[in-house]
Amino acid sequence: MRILERFGEQTIAFLEYLGGMMALIGESIRSLVHAQIRYAETFVQAYELGIGSLLIVLLTSLFTGMVISLESAQQAVQFGIGSLVGGAVTYTSVRELGPMLTAVVVAGRVGSAIAAEIGSMVVTEQIDALRSMGLSPVRFLVVPRLLALAIMLPLLTVFADIISILGGMWIAQAYAHINPASFISSARQAVGFEDVVKGLLKALIFACIIAFVGCYQGLSTRGGAAGVGRATTSAVVISIILIFGTNFVMSYLLFGGH
Amino acid sequence: MEPTIYASLDDVTLSFGEHVILKNCNLKIVRGAITCIVGLSGAGKSTILRLLDGLIEPSSGHVYVDGHDLCHTPERDLVELRQKTSLAFQFAALLDSLTIGENVGLPLREHTALPDEKIQHIVDDALESVGLRHVYDSLPNELSGGMLKRAGFARAIVTRPELVLYDEPTTGLDPIVTNLITDTILRLREKLGGTAVVISHDLHSIFRMADYVAMLFEGAIIAYGPREEIRTSTNPFVQQFLTGSEVGPIPV
């Protein structure tokens, strides 16, 4: 009986979460459609959330490109297909690892920061104060963060793709003596402009996931400082799981197994 | 002349799960008067302010402000109604990222098309009213508790609302600042001429500023009337509360 009760409670909690999230997305879209956008705040958020994440994204992408190249170059040279390493590194970076790793890094850094900031505002009654003044917390807080991430995450992904490929090219040359010209030629054959656009579309969807989950967890914070801690952790965990799941679905839909 | 009612709670019940906060609660707020609500900690006094501000909805009953029933009113319409009401929060609830001047001017910037110079002038005037003109460019974390509360008052009155709700304005302050806050509330009422509801535990301050006093106990208003009537009330609950005695009908 207790198991059934628990199952029922969890189901209700899940449906409440889903309903709350849908309401948040709906209100955000309404604000965007009515052009109720705080441009100055969006710019500040774009700088803080985007530019602030640049270094960590570049470093993780650089090492990722380098390790893919390291693992593939040695084997490829042994089998006499060293000229394909450029294609392998670029293919994985642009279509999968670039958008996904950038999103995971940003979810860890920015998703948690959004949840913590908004969660603190909830426990110090600042959100109630906004509502009391007749201001929508969604328009005031969610929409600028959503827009900032929707602009900055694809941009960060472009930088991540480039630095990952450059890192891979450097290791391919230094470790397996693969000529940069051959590396670039292979990369251009393996990946087209369409792949880059699809990778950036993934980044855009991941940006929405990070913004909505971070904001929702922040806005649903209950219970003081401990509640802020829980909201922050949940924001990161839920974002990362959703990013991985969505990445699989999008890869299937966009690339169709090709 | 019969006093007119600006706001009221009609048979309001509010519960969260099995926890009942207000039970068939009735309260009338007289137009142009200061009504103080007293009661034990956790009795639901701040909840009444949130109901009057439309921040929460009762489980049953009705909340009227200036003739409008706030219950079951769509959020979009509440936004307009809330501009007639202002809530000064217990800990001010100023936005951390904005300066005091920006905080106070926020409702004007968001709801009016006034030019920046005019907004600055109104904000300066609001800060002057609470004796804080010199902190315009300070951040909230640079102010003391009493100054924060007064900055919160400035934000609450900057749009000249018809109803100002003060949530425990004197709690946690020393007697001198408590007097200053009480004076400020009285001065603001004189200046704005509106209606105010004050939640407080400070009896000295309450009997200085209140026109009417209501006592909340176990989710309902058990005593209500002009301040002198309450001060001299023979109601044993009121007597025990006013004297602070441990002996009486209120369980300690």
Q: Report pLDDT digits (tens) over B203-226.
A: 989 999 999 999 999 899 999 999
In the listed set B160, B175, B204, which residue is the last one of a domain according to the structure?
Answer: B160
Query: What does the alpha-carbon distance between residue B24 and residue A245 come to, in Å, rounded to a whole number?
Result: 49
Q: Which of B106, B109, B141, B167 to mutate to test the interface with A (most CBs of A within 10 A)?
A: B106
In a domain? residue B247: no
Same domain, B136 and B214: no
Burial B216-238 (b: 16+ CB within 10 A, else e): bbebbbbbbbebeebeebebebb
Indicate if the pLDDT at residue A53 is higher than 80: yes
Q: Which of B77, B89, B148, B164 to mutate to test the interface with A (most CBs of A within 10 A)?
A: B89
Phi first, then psi: give them for residue B40, nearest 5 degrees: -65, 160
Sign of CA pseudo-dihedral B78, B81, B84, B85: negative
Question: Taking CB atoms and an 8 Å cut-off, how many pairs form between chains A and B?
Answer: 52
Which pLDDT score, from 0 to 100, does residue B244 have?
A: 86
Same domain, B12 and B59: yes
**Terminal CA-CA length for chain A:** 49
Q: Do A134 and B86 touch (CB under 8 A)?
A: no
Return the DSSP state at B173.
-
In the listed set B111, B128, B160, which residue is the last one of a domain according to the structure?
Answer: B160
In a domain? residue B226: no
Query: What does the alpha-carbon distance between residue B244 and residue B240 come to, in Å, rounded to a whole number?
Result: 6
**B7 is in which domain, residue-wise?**
1-84+164-221
Same domain, B66 and B4: yes
- Say if CB B106 and CB A133 are below 8 A apart: yes
B134 touches chain A (CB under 8 A): no
Same domain, B103 and B200: no
Indicate if the pLDDT at residue B73 is higher than 60: yes
In a domain? residue B7: yes
Q: Which residues of A touch B (CB under 8 A)?
A: 120-121, 124-126, 128-136
Q: Do B93 and A133 touch (CB under 8 A)?
A: no
For residue B167, the SS3 value is strand
Residues 142-171, chain B, touching A (beta carbon < 8 A): 155
Same domain, B125 and B101: yes
Q: Which of A132, A135, A143 to mutate to test the interface with B (most CBs of B within 10 A)?
A: A132
Tokens 């058990």 identify what position?
A: B222
Tally the domains of chain B: 2
Which pLDDT score, from 0 to 100, does residue A257 have?
A: 56
Indicate if the pLDDT at residue B184 is higher than 80: yes
Q: Do A126 and B83 touch (CB under 8 A)?
A: no
In a domain? residue B244: no
Same domain, B2 and B125: no
Edge-first strand order for the sheet with B19-30 is B19-30, B5-16, B60-65, B68-69
In a domain? residue B45: yes
The helix (H) or strand (E) run that includes residue B25 is strand B19-30
Which pLDDT score, from 0 to 100, does residue B14 have?
A: 94
- Say if CB B129 and CB B157 are below 8 A apart: yes
Tokens 């609660």 identify what position?
A: B25
In Å, how far is A118's CA from the nearest CA of chain B?
Answer: 11
In a domain? residue B147: yes
- Say if CB B174 and CB B181 are below 8 A apart: no
**B97: closest CA among B146, B140, B39?**
B140
Q: Report pLDDT digits (tens) over A231-244.
A: 999 999 999 999 99
Mean pLDDT of B107-118: 91
- Say if CB B213 and CB B53 are below 8 A apart: no
Query: What does the alpha-carbon distance between residue A29 and residue A136 come to, in Å, rounded to a whole number?
Result: 13
CATH number, domain containing residue B198? 3.40.50.300
In Å, how far is A154's CA from the nearest CA of chain B?
Answer: 27
Which pLDDT score, from 0 to 100, does residue A1 have?
A: 67
* The amino acid at A179: N
In the listed set B109, B135, B160, which residue is the last one of a domain according to the structure?
Answer: B160
Same domain, B122 and B140: yes
For residue B129, the SS3 value is helix
In a domain? residue B107: yes
In Å, how far is B251's CA from the nearest CA of chain A?
Answer: 27
In a domain? residue B6: yes
CB-based contacts of B61: which residues, under 8 Å, 6+ apart? B9, B10, B11, B12, B13, B24, B25, B71
Query: What does the alpha-carbon distance between residue A257 and residue A153 come to, in Å, rounded to a whole number?
Result: 25
Partners of B109 on chain A (C-beta within 8 Å) are: none
Same domain, B132 and B36: no
Same domain, B5 and B77: yes
For residue B200, the SS3 value is coil
Residue in B closest to A117 by C-alpha? B96
> Tokens for B155?
């934000």
Same domain, B118 and B80: no
Partners of B50 on chain A (C-beta within 8 Å) are: 128
Q: Report pLDDT digits (tens) over A121-169.
A: 999 999 999 999 988 899 999 999 999 999 999 999 999 999 999 999 9
Same domain, B177 and B193: yes
Mean pLDDT of A194-221: 96
Partners of A130 on chain B (C-beta within 8 Å) are: 95
Same domain, B170 and B111: no
Q: Do B91 and A124 touch (CB under 8 A)?
A: yes
Mean pLDDT of B229-248: 89
- Say if CB A92 and CB A195 are below 8 A apart: no
